[in-house]
């Protein structure tokens, strides 16, 4: 197990949050929500944070291919994390308190997510691949250039499920930062009735985290060919993780 993944105490979390706000400020300025919507945002995000903390504390991670990520961090280089949308729950817990910039939407559900992940040491960037996407990608580009890691769901906020979007490829081409794909698969989970069959791990489930090969897109590259490479690598590690638990 890579060092520092499981151990997170309250003092470390609070220091991280203070550091984020002092250095980068808050990127979650509220659009005009009604008073009742603000109450709902607070309640739902607090409940989501509590649920993630309670279930997350029981999960048992198994990590393969950590060196595909670690090689860049040893040299203090920023990376572009990439994973499927239905794995947000586990990914959020696994990567907490690492100052990772995450794209969220400007609407009600995005504000809920932004509030929740801020409490876990992430930095929200407003926008999505469907609306405000150009502005959000430019914001992510600026953050990568300052040395921060960023994270995007490979299939975007609305799918189709398991079909990669061009955002990470564009970002890598513009910044030189590697795309580091990973698949995070709990052995036991509940699937919600959403477009991506969003996964909530069952308590005490073992979870496999499989890192794929990093992709560094040259500045002069054609994005279409790299999109194909990106899709193939995401598919490969997905198949590996699914087969891993079937064999166990």
Give the pLDDT mean for 195-207: 97
pTM recorded for the entire structure: 0.85
Backbone angles phi, psi at 211, to 5 degrees: -90, 135
pLDDT in tens, 106-154: 778 778 888 999 999 999 887 655 555 677 889 899 999 999 999 999 9
| Cβ neighbourhood burial of 128 (10 Å; 0-12, 13-18, 19+) | buried
**How many helices (DSSP H) and strands (DSSP E) are in the chain?**
8, 9
């Amino acid at each position: 197990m890579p060092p520092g993944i499981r151990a997170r105490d309250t003092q470390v979390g609070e220091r991280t949050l203070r550091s984020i706000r002092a250095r980068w400020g808050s990127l979650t300025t509220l659009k005009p929500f009604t008073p009742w919507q603000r109450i709902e945002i607070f309640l739902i995000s607090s409940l989501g944070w509590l649920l993630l903390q309670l279930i997350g504390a029981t999960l048992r991670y198994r990590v393969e291919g950590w060196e595909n990520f670690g090689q860049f961090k040893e040299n203090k280089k920023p990376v572009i994390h990439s994973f499927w949308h239905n794995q947000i729950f586990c990914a959020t817990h696994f990567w907490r308190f690492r100052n990772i910039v995450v794209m969220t939407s400007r609407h009600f559900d995005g504000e809920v997510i932004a509030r929740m992940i801020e409490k876990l040491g992430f930095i929200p960037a407003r926008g999505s691949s469907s609306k405000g996407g150009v502005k959000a990608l430019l914001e992510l580009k600026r953050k990568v250039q300052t040395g921060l890691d960023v994270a995007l769901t490979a299939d975007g906020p609305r799918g189709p499920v398991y079909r990669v979007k061009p955002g990470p490829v564009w970002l890598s081409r513009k910044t030189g930062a590697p795309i580091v794909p990973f698949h995070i698969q709990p052995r036991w989970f509940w699937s919600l009735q959403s477009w991506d069959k969003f996964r909530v791990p069952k308590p005490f489930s073992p979870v496999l985290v499989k890192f794929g090969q990093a992709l560094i897109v040259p500045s002069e590259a054609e994005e279409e060919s790299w999109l194909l490479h990106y899709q193939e690598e995401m598919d490969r590690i997905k198949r590996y993780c699914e087969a891993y638990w079937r064999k166990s």
